Structure 1
């Protein structure tokens, strides 16, 4: 259990630094950031698949492409959102993705939702409403980007469920990174900005942080009980808020913190209820 907690803390820190570096890349368009985020991860996924002699093409190609497109849209919108609103707020809103996943599972997979889960979903959505309704400094454009990103996170979860064990997890990630690199690269051609000096290091590190964030989150889930470990992923919100305050001088009102707390509480309680 101790090791699982350590893994989740490492994952949360890696996700946090990914968010921070994306926020700091003001000179670059979102598609170019998506391109470098994807290229960086491919340095890990492709060698892994080749070393273990796992087919890069996978088995459920249609679902793998669909998952990649959903993931690309979600990632692009999330990166856009943190250009407009505080990182901690954007991360909190993105984390309501599992709620949309549960709703999609109800519609498409005929899975059941317990009555108490609806209450926790409502609590999380109330947190989003509090964020926008009472925090006058919150920009609506960034809010919409983060919310739609969460919707596509839900679609990603459902697609992965449909893929099941038919494909290796690294194959799923590799598809996502290849498609994101190609589309992100093509869409960034007209607005391409040549990186200078340490910008190369920052851009290429996006994929490294993204890869290890997901790797250690997976290790944590494998090493500990889901209902005990999963809530720790919301450490990313706390870490992001702290760095945002110190590094970017981001401002969080009392209402924005109340909204974030409602979102995290609703999602955490849902995890415990679903596990039971």
Structure 2
């Protein structure tokens, strides 16, 4: 559990830093293009590392590895779209819905049992989401929040797939990362050609920073889901909301509304309680 905690918190910190740079870059570059370059840099780095350490690719579970990659690539693209147009904290809170989606997927796909008492906390999270997106007001409704929710859904599918793949015990985290990064190249390449912007010097620097940080973040993230229960690993990353809020305030002068704070607190408390119930149930079974 300690190793999973370290991996999850490390990935949350690195991803929050990456999100800040993505937001900077997203002001003048399409999200698809950022997705493409992140995948390209990461793929080169991972292949180089695997070649240097003679880490071989497995012939097993290739279908699942491809699914993990496609889900992750789509989720990353939608997240980048949301980051370009939303406050970092707002987008980050909605990204954490992936924990709820992981909970649902792990229950019905991985057959991990639902702990008693989890239902009421799911309703609390639904209330938090409604507060965040404000569907009752057309003027206040942020359409890009739907991209953040969609990104959370695809990310959860990817995380659940990682957990299922890891149960076979035959795949290196770097192999799992490789399929994800290649899928980012494909997804980004499909959507970027119509609005392609050739990067200037500043943008190239940001692209390289994003690519480098994302490799380490993805390693820690994959390690967290390999090391522990999928739901627990996802909820451990909730500290990323606070990291993102800090960068949003420091770098973009973003202030949180009371509704965002209320929604974030509700979602955080409910998510922690579900994770705690899940972990207690896991311990009691063993």
1:176 Cα deviation (Å)? Answer: 0.9
The corresponding residue for 1:264 is 268
- RMSD, matched Cα: 3.0
Whether the 8 Å contact between 2:177 and 2:222 is mirrored in structure 1 is no
2:24 maps to 1:24: yes
Whether the 8 Å contact between 2:81 and 2:147 is mirrored in structure 1 is yes
1:24 Cα deviation (Å)? Answer: 1.1
SS in 1 for 2:134: helix
Note the 1:66-215 alignment, pairs <5 A.
66-133=67-134, 139-164=141-166, 165-215=169-219
- The total of aligned residue pairs comes to 276
1:41 Cα deviation (Å)? Answer: 1.5
Structure 1: any 5+ residue segments left out of the alignment?
A: none
1:261 Cα deviation (Å)? Answer: 1.1
1:53 Cα deviation (Å)? Answer: 2.4
1:202 Cα deviation (Å)? Answer: 0.2
Instruction: Assess, with a 3 A threshold, how the Cα gap between structure 1 residues 224 and 152 changes in structure 2: closer, same or farther.
Output: closer
Note the 1:229-244 alignment, pairs <5 A.
233-244=237-248
**CA–CA distance in structure 2, aligned partners of residues 187 and 226 of structure 1:** 30
**CA–CA distance in structure 1, aligned partners of residues 6 and 106 of structure 2:** 31
1:214 Cα deviation (Å)? Answer: 3.0
SS in 2 for 1:115: coil
1:183 Cα deviation (Å)? Answer: 3.3
Instruction: Assess, with a 3 A threshold, how the Cα gap between structure 1 residues 57 and 81 changes in structure 2: closer, same or farther.
Output: same
Whether the 8 Å contact between 1:81 and 1:146 is mirrored in structure 2 is yes
Structure 2: any 5+ residue segments left out of the alignment?
A: 281-286
CA deviation vs aligned residue, 1:102-126 (integer Å, no higher than 9, x gap): 2223333433212312222222222
**CA–CA distance in structure 1, aligned partners of residues 34 and 126 of structure 2:** 29
**CA–CA distance in structure 2, aligned partners of residues 218 and 105 of structure 1:** 16
The corresponding residue for 2:14 is 14
**CA–CA distance in structure 1, aligned partners of residues 194 and 58 of structure 2:** 30
Instruction: Assess, with a 3 A threshold, how the Cα gap between structure 1 residues 38 and 264 changes in structure 2: closer, same or farther.
Output: same
1:244 Cα deviation (Å)? Answer: 0.9
Instruction: Assess, with a 3 A threshold, how the Cα gap between structure 1 residues 227 and 125 changes in structure 2: closer, same or farther.
Output: closer
2:40 maps to 1:36: no
Instruction: Assess, with a 3 A threshold, how the Cα gap between structure 1 residues 126 and 20 changes in structure 2: closer, same or farther.
Output: same
**CA–CA distance in structure 2, aligned partners of residues 227 and 104 of structure 1:** 9
**Larger displacement relative to structure 2 (266-275 or 52-61):** 52-61
SS in 2 for 1:190: helix
Instruction: Assess, with a 3 A threshold, how the Cα gap between structure 1 residues 72 and 218 changes in structure 2: closer, same or farther.
Output: closer
**CA–CA distance in structure 2, aligned partners of residues 3 and 111 of structure 1:** 21
1:133 Cα deviation (Å)? Answer: 3.0
**CA–CA distance in structure 2, aligned partners of residues 258 and 10 of structure 1:** 26
